Structure 1
Amino acid sequence: MCKSDRVTHTLDGLKETLVIWGAELQRAVRSGRAVVLLGLYSMFSALVLLVIGKLTSDLRTAMNERLAGAGADAESATRLMEETRKGVLGFLTSNDTSMMEALAQVPIEVLLVFKVTLFFLPAYVALMGFDQISGEVAPRSMRYLTVRARRSSVLLGKFLTQAALLVGLVLVIDLAIFIYARIANPDFGSAALIINLLKFWFAAIVFSLAYVALTTLCSSLFRTPGVSLVFNFILLFVFWLMDTVGRASGETGALRFLRYLSPSNYAGDLLHPKFTEFGISGAAYAGFATLFLLGAYGALRARDL
């Protein structure tokens, strides 16, 4: 195949992918599934935010009452609250000085909610797209798509559909969380809100796209959507276990290398202000996404549709 033929072949594949992406995205939005997924994610995030907000408010009230009872002045109370905040921030950032300085203006509620929702986001991604491929394979409707388009185009089109939905849903939820934080913390200015909103949103997207690719892989391996979902959850548990065991082994343990094989290990630096630290995490998630998509393409190419 000459160079011009390869270019034409690539452009045709890109056009097919974009057409499938657009059609699948319209179908997903019109089906109401996006609304249901947004409602599910919203309820969970709101529950976490309300619980953490209530605990934070109660902690502030208790500390103020204790200081007032001890006869401390307002300056001492402010200093103690700031030290407590730095302690929590240090725990969340593993005492990384650069991250603590970069996130100094972000309310603790936002950081806690971000950590909790990031932990459960892979499960949400699995529920969102577990049938993206197997849902077409089981009723044999996939063969009608592959007659008109390449299997790789179908795969990438469906992957991009799930990714686009996730990008929009995460933005809506993050915006609501930051607006709540702005109301609850008057000193959290609008400029800091916009900058950190974009930063947190981008970090969540980088983190979750690898799991969208994992869901695409699981959906490509089996004909039945239910089996794809169960296998997806099994892999999520395996990755979590590898990360936990690897961290528990410490820096010199025999199993410490396991955590480097889990996507969860690289989430800590997604908010890092240094490009080198963030770049390593971003490259790791891009690598995982590429690996999962290549596996999905291999499975779909070998499958008898």
Structure 2
Amino acid sequence: MIWAAELRRAVRSGRAIVLLGLYSMFSALVLLVVGFVTRELQAQVNAKLAENGGDPEMATQAAEQMRQGVLGFLASNDAAMMEALAKVPIVVLIVFKITLFFLPAYIALMGFDQVSGEVGPRSMRYLTVRARRSSVLLGKFLSQATLLVGLVLIIDLAIFVYARIINDDFAFGVLVLNLLKFWSATIVFSLAYVALTTLCSSLFRSPAVSLVFNFILLFVFWLMDSVGRAVGEENLLRFLRYLSPSYYSTNLLHPRLAEFAVSGAAYAAFAAVFLFGAYGVLRARDL
């Protein structure tokens, strides 16, 4: 009941429209910039080949080599993943990687007041009289997760349709299959950060403080992942990357079930830890 009520309130308040507009503007900007840079690079390659008397086959080979290089970078040079993503336009992969990097911040803006907005003015007490605190917490978490699922689906669908328009060889069957794959990967990735936002919102009575603390934690997780990847394998600091949710995003698009399952299990574990932490805080708090 709380899940449905919170979802209806979020939709009727206009927040969903604002969040969709914000996410759409950012995704469209990234899509346009990436598309422009890709076309410019291709034009420069074609111009240089034309100056050197190159034939169309050489231009095609150069373009394919450039594509394989970018695909290898995005897929961490994993042969199985590169083969599975070979038919997906590069612009979709780049936009996916960039939006995935900024998605945790978007989630924080989306739900920073889901609990603190009730705890601050003490309106939470009226809910906890009629429902368990665990039900209130889980209902608010599911409400934000459901809203995010819908928003991500709309944006991903728009990105794939745009890619289909500018790439005639992007078959409809491949589009549908990869749309479901990218959407599922984004949802698995997002649920842990929705739970983190729930935890941060439960820690403080002020929504503004919850938001700032959420951004601090996101920076700390990013720093742990970056340091863990940068140091050598003999350095003990390499283990820091395993404590950051973003480290496990690499294999969310992996074609092998075992690789995807490890990442999915890691995000499920992070979500469970954050939710249990939020429940512990809310249970001990004087409402």
TM-score normalised by structure 2 residue count: 0.99
How far the C-alpha of 1:59 sits from its partner, in A, is 0.8
Aligned to 2:265, which of 279, 283, 290? 283
What is the SS of the residue equivalent to 1:270?
Answer: helix
Aligned to 2:217: 235
Aligned to 2:14: 32
- Cα distance in 2 between the residues matched to 1:68 and 1:198: 40
Aligned to 2:255, which of 266, 273, 287? 273
Aligned to 1:166: 148
Aligned to 1:58: 40
Instruction: List gaps (5 residues or longer) in structure 1.
Output: 1-18
- Is 246-255 or 164-173 further displaced after alignment? 246-255
Partner amino acid, structure 2, of 1:169: L
- Cα distance in 2 between the residues matched to 1:236 and 1:295: 17
Aligned to 1:112: 94
Partner amino acid, structure 1, of 2:253: L
- Cα distance in 2 between the residues matched to 1:182 and 1:250: 41
TM-score normalised by structure 1 residue count: 0.93
Aligned to 1:85, which of 61, 67, 92? 67
Aligned to 1:16: none
Partner amino acid, structure 2, of 1:88: V
- Cα distance in 1 between the residues matched to 2:109 and 2:235: 35
What is the CA deviation profile of residues 48-85 of structure 1, one whole-angstrom value per residue up to 9, with x for unaligned ones? 00000000011111111111221111111111111110
Aligned to 2:180, which of 182, 194, 198? 198
Runs of 4+ in 1 over 6 A off after TM superposition: none
Determine whether 1:157 maps to 2:135: no
Aligned to 1:123: 105
How far the C-alpha of 1:278 sits from its partner, in A, is 0.4
What is the CA deviation profile of residues 140-167 of structure 1, one whole-angstrom value per residue up to 9, with x for unaligned ones? 1100000000000000000000000100
Partner amino acid, structure 2, of 1:286: A
- Is 72-81 or 43-52 further displaced after alignment? 72-81
Identity %: 75
What is the SS of the residue equivalent to 2:269?
Answer: helix
Aligned to 2:24: 42
Paired residue total: 287
Aligned to 1:137, which of 119, 126, 129? 119
- Cα distance in 1 between the residues matched to 2:181 and 2:15: 27
CA RMSD of aligned residues (A): 0.6
Aligned to 2:82: 100
Determine whether 1:257 maps to 2:239: yes
- Cα distance in 2 between the residues matched to 1:219 and 1:125: 12
Partner amino acid, structure 2, of 1:126: A
How far the C-alpha of 1:250 sits from its partner, in A, is 2.5
- Cα distance in 1 between the residues matched to 2:233 and 2:178: 32
Partner amino acid, structure 2, of 1:280: V
- Cα distance in 2 between the residues matched to 1:225 and 1:149: 23
Partner amino acid, structure 2, of 1:165: L
- Cα distance in 2 between the residues matched to 1:85 and 1:253: 34
- Cα distance in 1 between the residues matched to 2:232 and 2:249: 18
Instruction: List gaps (5 residues or longer) in structure 2.
Output: none
- Cα distance in 1 between the residues matched to 2:13 and 2:67: 44
- Cα distance in 1 between the residues matched to 2:10 and 2:283: 25
